[in-house]
Amino acid sequence: MHPDDYSFCHQIAHAERSKGQAYLLVPSARKAGGCCVPVFDRAAVSVIEAYGPFRLTWDAVNEEAYAVTPTGKRRVAIDRVYDLP
């Protein structure tokens, strides 16, 4: 794990893209136990529900994030990147 050096990740991505790989499921470089899905081919991803324009808000009391749209608000899951106390 390293907070800001992605050179090894870029090497792996370049090698996999050259083999025609559309995406990978890999361990996170910043979050212990986390995972990332780097996508190399847009055709490998589909939008399940288009959200449209929204404003992201943070409720500090409840420690929850919300995407606010003209029609309402939805709770958004945000993982902590670093294990902070």
pLDDT score at 40: 86
pLDDT score at 32: 75
pLDDT score at 50: 67
Instruction: Dump pLDDT digits (tens) for 7-66.
Output: 887 888 889 899 999 888 888 766 677 777 888 888 887 766 666 788 888 888 888 888
Between residues 30 and 74, which one has the greater pLDDT?
Answer: 74
**What is the residue-wise DSSP string for 8-54?**
HHHHHHHHHHHTT--B--EE-SSSTT-EE--BS-GGG---SS---S-
Compute the distance between CA of residue 18 and CA of residue 32 in angstroms, rounded to an integer: 28
| Residue the block writes with tokens 């409720």 | 59
